[in-house]
Amino acid sequence: MRRLATRLLKALLFLVAFVAALWASLPWREVGVASLTLAGDVLERHGMRLAFSDVEAAGGGFTVNGLAVSGFTTFSFRSLTLRPQLMASLLSLAPVCEADFTGGEMTMGQAMNFGDGGFLLTAGRDGVLLERLRTDGDFAISGFVALDPGRMKISRAEAAISVPQSFEGNMETLQGFLPLVREGSGWVLRRAPSEGGAAQ
């Protein structure tokens, strides 16, 4: 029995080492281009458009330059680096990816500068989760947001938001579209799993 357990452990260690070596040698630029092509097809079916200038390999992942996702609103990044997390993906049985970006901006009538930041993305069957979300621009965000792409809504959220004084007057209008709550001198994007709301 002990000999069998030893053999199984050696086989498991060999498999892990083999997968890690294979992972490290992946052609990340080609992986990035293929991923963006697939994402573009999915977004197009939902009435959105994805565009980018080029893709380059970046240690354990890839960097997309000049990325823009357009729909009801437009999200753009000077650069977005994605690094898939192998072990986390295996443990959660869902794709997990670490993301870092520069020059983040959202345009919805008015341009909103999010600056540089990052998040940990998990794409599960029930939706997309953005954890450890952080930005350092004029519009600063810190927290997490869970999205339901099928229903085009925020399913869960707890994220502190800081906006420029010149934009404060628009926040009450946005409460009609987003689960925003006023707290002190700032705002919080908040939704518990049990809360409804078809548009938000």
pLDDT of residue 199: 42
Name the band, by pLDDT with cuts 50, 70 and 90, for residue 135. Answer: very high
Q: Are 143 and 159 in contact (CB under 8 A)?
A: yes
Q: Is 94 among the domain residues?
A: yes
pLDDT of residue 4: 52
pLDDT of residue 37: 94
Q: Is 51 among the domain residues?
A: yes
Helix (H, G, I), strand (E, B) or coil at 135: strand
Q: Is 60 among the domain residues?
A: yes
Q: Is 54 among the domain residues?
A: yes
pLDDT of residue 102: 97
Q: Is 4 among the domain residues?
A: no
pLDDT of residue 46: 79
> For 177-199, how does the pLDDT look when each residue is reduced to its tens digit (9 = 90+)?
889 999 988 899 999 976 554 44
Dig out the tokens for 74 from the structure.
Answer: 């437009």
Nearest Cα residue to 118 out of 144, 95, 94 = 144
62-75 as b/e: b if 16+ CB within 10 A: bbbbebebeeeeeb
Give the bridge partners for 53, in sequence order: none
The average pLDDT across 138-165 equals 91
Q: What angle do CA 145, 118, 52 make, to 5 degrees?
A: 100
Strands 61-70 and 153-162: unpaired
Measured from the Cβ of residue 186, the count of other Cβ atoms closer than 10 Å reads: 13
pLDDT of residue 16: 47
Is pLDDT larger for residue 150 or for residue 1?
150
> For 63-98, how does the pLDDT look when each residue is reduced to its tens digit (9 = 90+)?
999 999 998 889 999 999 999 998 888 888 898 999
Q: Is 10 among the domain residues?
A: no
> For 11-30, how does the pLDDT look when each residue is reduced to its tens digit (9 = 90+)?
444 344 434 444 556 889 99
Q: Is 17 among the domain residues?
A: no
Number of structural domains in the chain: 1
The average pLDDT across 133-138 equals 95
Name the band, by pLDDT with cuts 50, 70 and 90, for residue 2. Answer: low
Q: Is 61 among the domain residues?
A: yes
Per the structure, the complete domain to which residue 43 belongs is given by 27-191
pLDDT of residue 66: 97
pLDDT of residue 99: 97
